[in-house]
Structure formats: C-alpha cells, structure tokens
Amino acid sequence: MKKIITLLLIFTLAILMAFPAFATNGTIGKYTPVLDGEKDEAYDQSLKLNLFTDQGIPVGEFFHSEGSAPDKNNIDANAWFLYDDQFVYVFVDVADPDLFDIGKATFDSRPNNYQSDSVELWFVFGDAFSYIKFSAVAFGHGMFGDQDGSAVAADVLKPLGFDTAVKTGTAGYAVEFKIPTAQYGLKAGDTIYFTLQLNNMDKDGNLAVSGKQLQNMGGADNASALTLGAPIIIAVPEPEIIEEEEVPAEVEGPAAPTVTPPSPATGDITVLFGIISLISAGGLLTFKKKR
C-alpha cells in the first residue's frame, strides 16, 4: 500500500513539473496616466504582476542564455497595467544590479534587440491568436515591435502611437509603455492576454533571458488573462485655504495734556497783584530807612 502511495506521489510531481503553474489573472483599471516613466497613483489601484511568481516561473529561472550562463538570473521585475479607449499602458519596474549600457550605436546596429538590458511585452488582443511584441531598452536607446514575427522599427511605431518613457537608476530602471489598441475595439469586460520577458546582459556580453514569450505557447492558455475593468477614480485634494492674518488695529498713545492759557481777566489780576506787592515792598523799605 505504501509503495502504491509513493508511486502516486511521484506521478503527481512529474505531472506538475511537466505542466508549469498557471499565470495570475486579474482586472485592470481604466485611467489615462501621464507617460513620463514615473508610476502614477492609479497604477497602484490596478493589477500588478511579478516576472516570476505571477507567471508560474521559479524565481531566477531563465529559458535562454548566451555566453557564460549564471546559476540564476539576478533580476526581478513587476508590471502594472492601465487602459483607456485608445491605449493600454504598462509600467515595468526592473531590479537589475549589473546594468550595462551597450550604447546607442551598438543598439542601432544589432539585428537582435534582446541582446541588451531590456523589457519585452507580449500581447494577444481579441479572440484570434495574433500576438504583438513591444520592447524597450533600459537606457532609452530605442524600441522595437513585432507583429506575428514581422519586426517593426521605432520609426514606424512612433507615428502609430506607440511610445515609451524610461528612467534609469544605479540598480535598476523603469519603463512605461503606451500601446495603441483602438483598432481592436476593446471595451470594459473584454479580455487581453499578456506575458512579460526580461533580458539581462552584463558588460562581458553574457546574456540570460527570463519570463515568457506568447508565441511559444501555441495560444494564450498559459498567459495572464487581463480583464478590462471599471474606471479608477483618483480623488483630487481640495485646495488649501490660507487664511489671511488679521492686522492688529493701531493702538493710540495717551492723549497729550491740554494747556489752557489763562483768561485775559485772570492775567490782569495776576499782574495787578504783582504790582501791588512791589509797591508795598518799596514802601516798607522807605519806611524803615526813614526811621
């Protein structure tokens, strides 16, 4: 009996290993962000997917390498999603401790745009299996598209409405994507399919690629199903009312004493008394001298 149970466990594990874990599905909110490489507040109210854990991939696992392959890919990334009537927006925050800039000239001359530190988004819009790939490089050198295997360069993508904004730091970078979708007639309640791929190249030319490619699945069964949801409402803070300080009223000092000049009559009497006093004093002196 124990032997049968052990065999069943081994068989179950084999099946689980043969079929990778399903990717995370979710709903994305409707909101038009500012395309500037900064994560708008609305993204935090929408779906977030991790490069590894939400795609059913062991952390650090890579499916392609060139040069000296590492034991594990030392990168990670999270993606947030928004949409409106014209576009799907994706903000990808990448942790990459060994960023390497291949340079604009090298990027432009390489036929393989994945040979760089870069992000690749894979989408299926609508019911038919028709994928579109859109990628951008960590240092903002350019972007590429791919429609069912046909490469599309940046000079073609820009006029169609595709765009990116890149912010590069010392241990990672962020890329914000804007992808036109009006031609698919998408509306709330519809589902699109998505996978995320991250390319990691070091200064010695060694490359490790993690994530998933939709084209290799034969369909969208193992991609993340993203349902277009309700609008996101961002509360606008009321303007702060600054009360004006009251200016204290001017305090008047004590009134100066009023000096009332003597009336003419009073003045005459005072003078008269003064004259009488002088005359009396003179008479007294005369009297004393005569005696």
pLDDT digits over 215-237, tens only? 654 455 679 999 999 999 998 87
Secondary structure (3-state) at 24: coil
116 — pLDDT class (breaks 50, 70, 90)? very high
Q: Give pLDDT tens digits for 63-88.
A: 999 999 889 999 999 999 999 999 99
Which stretches of 224-268 are assigned E, i.e. beta strand? 224-231
pLDDT reported for residue 252: 64
Which of 148, 161, 229 minimizes the C-alpha distance to 191?
Answer: 229
106 — pLDDT class (breaks 50, 70, 90)? confident
The stretch 173-180 carries a mean pLDDT of: 95
pLDDT above 90: residue 53: yes
What is the C-alpha separation between 286 and 266, in angstroms, rounded? 31
pLDDT reported for residue 118: 94
pLDDT reported for residue 146: 79
274 vs 170, which has greater pLDDT? 170
pLDDT reported for residue 19: 38
pLDDT above 90: residue 208: yes
52 touches 198 (CB < 8 A): no
262 vs 35, which has greater pLDDT? 35
- Whole-prediction pTM: 0.74
The stretch 182-187 carries a mean pLDDT of: 90
Give the position of tokens 């290993």. 17
Least confident of 43-47, 174-178, 200-204: 200-204
Give the position of tokens 């990628």. 135
pLDDT reported for residue 257: 63
Which stretches of the chain are assigned E, i.e. beta strand? 26-30, 48-50, 64-66, 76-83, 87-95, 118-125, 131-137, 143-147, 150-152, 163-168, 172-180, 191-201, 207-211, 224-231
141 vs 151, which has greater pLDDT? 141
93 vs 7, which has greater pLDDT? 93
269 — pLDDT class (breaks 50, 70, 90)? very low
The stretch 260-281 carries a mean pLDDT of: 47
Q: Give pLDDT tens digits for 26-47.
A: 999 999 999 999 999 999 999 9
pLDDT reported for residue 121: 94
pLDDT reported for residue 157: 85
How far lies 290's CA from each of 69, 215, 279, 286, in Å? Answer: 147, 152, 17, 6
The pLDDT > 90 percentage for the chain reads 47
- The residue ranges of every structural domain in the chain are 20-231
pLDDT above 80: residue 274: no
Please state, rounded to an integer, the average pLDDT across all residues of the chain. 80
CATH for 20-231 is 2.60.40.1190
